[in-house]
Structure 1
């Protein structure tokens, strides 16, 4: 018993001895020299340091929204410090502020409180709409001021692995300031969808999640092209159905999106050199639209339809891609990189045309949509029908708004072609335009 008492006394004396040896940095900041400004996800602490040459840094200690201890340190050379780690807005968050010298000795801490604003991942939900879209839905959001964090968009669909309903991730994207919209067309078509939107900060912490049920889907399909017409008011289309050519606008709607007819014709000749039949569409020189020399085509789908998109295909890179003289040597240089489309229900009324869609891709794009088109990349050569059947077609898509009314006529302007392709000697200096197929999607 006596032994235990002595041990306890020694322990107590040791504690007092430790306290007596503790050293403190003798410095402080006047209360009026510290102020806080609420920002999304935290606050900025502004401070003015006293004229003490021994002050090396400022330290702030507080707890984030999860109760995790946060320590922020800033050099004496600065006059502010960001206190982050919050999602939903909070008031009167306690913070202890102290000064450090070069020996890392701290002054006596002073206590303050600060307020925060909703972080970007939380403010994201203050102005968001999940609305119908073609074969899916769209997410519209508006974030004022600075934006931070990530957004994850899911839908309730069939898991391809388990064949059961599951929450499936569609996209994770960084939240951007201003008004933005994300479009999601789903391979799994349903009349209505359940959408889950979840945001998180850059530390991976979930900020907020909301579920949107009963979001209608405007399901669309390819429209029957059997009666379509490609009107040519400037006589730009080369029309020649003789052997060695087989070109004209009618081939835009024959259902061949890859070049199957040309390859089958070439194979039917065996080892002999076949005529250069193309079964495709091509223009005369200088068919590109210019501000001082307008040129366009008009697609007539024969009755007003609510159109969701128009696809324009290029012929794939067939081996021994023989071409008639109306084509330039490098096929890919004739494909468009910029297309503008207008719509109307009265093609003869110039005031009735409404711009409904545009496609643009930089001439220096790392992977252009024409990457697998004819003559572009030697590594994509297709030699047999079986190889052709195994690959996907290449095409550009001009998308239209779900808010558009039904239209019958679509004015198509080719504003630019690829013209020149890296590592290809031949250029399309005369600005001919080609397409292999056109498909219209809608309902």
Structure 2
């Protein structure tokens, strides 16, 4: 019995000291900080730089990182895999010299000594874009155009003079990464208004303000409660598959289950709408059916808008000329900001359609109408079906509903 007790004690002592001396370093780590990173080249770019380097040869090297303080005084960190030979520094909003510390880090999170390098970023995108910004009078507001050759992710931000506060106040933003474009900021009274526009990137860098003073063109919103389908020969039903044409003007468009929907029949498809009031239309918005159907399925890609003041003035329907007697108001092509293939979308596409896609009528040739005819010619999904999430119209109302 004493012999067995002695043996158990010896085994316990061996296990105790063995566990006490066992290494707890992460798998593959030697517990020693890696060697320093060697910088081979610095290429300065707008708003940042690309730092090319040679990593140390430590077998347990995991990644290389850069630490620096940006122009806003914020400490930033950028990491790159050990198999990559460069670090991308971006988001610096002012030209100047910036010190960047480059470190090697191993699997045990042991960090090498710093290799300091100076970068001198070129003029950032927010500064480059500002001189290209122009503003012109528009329906109910101002149209802002811009050039963004670097395709930077930025926002165009509008401020408007507030007489009560006696200063410019922020109103709204438009996000883009397009190389060029224009966006209409609307919803403003038809009186002389001072607008301020500035550019901001995703790191919070802002340009100076540029100012425009315009008197927005009258732009009244047509009451959708007055809208109704006016069925004429050759029209296509948008009441299929449990959907209803009235869902295209019910004020809801953020669900793929709220739309007008046709059967699967050959295009073109026609829809006639009684606006319930007479107006010189200035513009309209088409909101796509959203959700998983965005920019595919039966969402209109190429369509035309026609108008007439008196439906009784139309000639007898002719299937070979279904739009006879109607005035062509707009030949429309839907735009996809991302340019991605069918079935693929990004946040910019969703935001663009959530705000509605704007189509303007010719300001020099505005036509007084009461009835609208939509002819859908081609769809984003290249399918023989039409779906529309929502329709909105604006203009100068010339006669209220009788």
Q: TM-score, normalised by structure 2?
A: 0.52
Structure 1 equivalent of residue 199 of structure 2: 199
For 1:74 and 1:293, the matched residues in 2 are separated by: 52
Once the two structures are superposed, the pairs formed by residues 256-405 of structure 1 within 5 Å of their partners are 258=225, 282-288=230-236, 308-309=282-283, 340-341=304-305, 356=330, 358=332, 399-400=359-360, 404-405=363-364
Structure 2 equivalent of residue 212 of structure 1: 211
Question: CA offsets, 1:239-278, max 9 Å, x none?
Answer: xxxxxxxxxxxxxxxx99646xxxxxxxxxxxxxxxxxxx
**Aligned: 1:98 with 2:103:** yes
Q: Tell me the CA shift for residue 138 of structure 1.
A: 1.1
Structure 2 equivalent of residue 170 of structure 1: 171
Q: Tell me the CA shift for residue 408 of structure 1.
A: 4.9
For 1:104 and 1:398, the matched residues in 2 are separated by: 52
Q: Tell me the CA shift for residue 76 of structure 1.
A: 1.9
Structure 1 equivalent of residue 365 of structure 2: 406
Is the Cα–Cα contact under 8 Å of residues 61 and 104 in structure 2 kept in the other structure? yes
SS class of match (1:98): strand
- In the alignment, which of 92, 97, 118 is matched to residue 86 of structure 1? 92
**Aligned: 1:58 with 2:75:** no
Question: CA offsets, 1:92-151, max 9 Å, x none?
Answer: 433232333445444443332223234443333142111110121111122123322433
Distance 1:28 1:307, change over 3 A: same
Is the Cα–Cα contact under 8 Å of residues 144 and 178 in structure 1 kept in the other structure? yes
Structure 2 equivalent of residue 151 of structure 1: 156
Is the Cα–Cα contact under 8 Å of residues 46 and 80 in structure 1 kept in the other structure? yes
For 1:399 and 1:256, the matched residues in 2 are separated by: 18
For 1:58 and 1:293, the matched residues in 2 are separated by: 58
Question: CA offsets, 1:363-410, max 9 Å, x none?
Answer: xxxxxxxxxxxxxxxxxxxxxxxxxxxxxxxxx998425x64235588
Q: Tell me the CA shift for residue 413 of structure 1.
A: 4.1
**Aligned: 1:140 with 2:145:** yes
Is the Cα–Cα contact under 8 Å of residues 64 and 84 in structure 1 kept in the other structure? no
SS class of match (1:124): helix
Higher gyration radius (CA): 1
- Count of matched residue positions in the alignment of Structure 1 and Structure 2: 275
Is the Cα–Cα contact under 8 Å of residues 282 and 394 in structure 2 kept in the other structure? no
For 1:66 and 1:164, the matched residues in 2 are separated by: 28
Is the Cα–Cα contact under 8 Å of residues 135 and 219 in structure 1 kept in the other structure? yes
| Unaligned stretches of 5+ residues in structure 1 | 1-22, 223-254, 260-278, 300-304, 313-335, 362-395, 418-428, 432-436
For 1:438 and 1:213, the matched residues in 2 are separated by: 26
For 2:270 and 2:282, the matched residues in 1 are separated by: 24
Distance 1:294 1:115, change over 3 A: same
Distance 1:142 1:29, change over 3 A: same
Is the Cα–Cα contact under 8 Å of residues 288 and 416 in structure 1 kept in the other structure? no
For 1:214 and 1:25, the matched residues in 2 are separated by: 61
For 1:38 and 1:154, the matched residues in 2 are separated by: 33
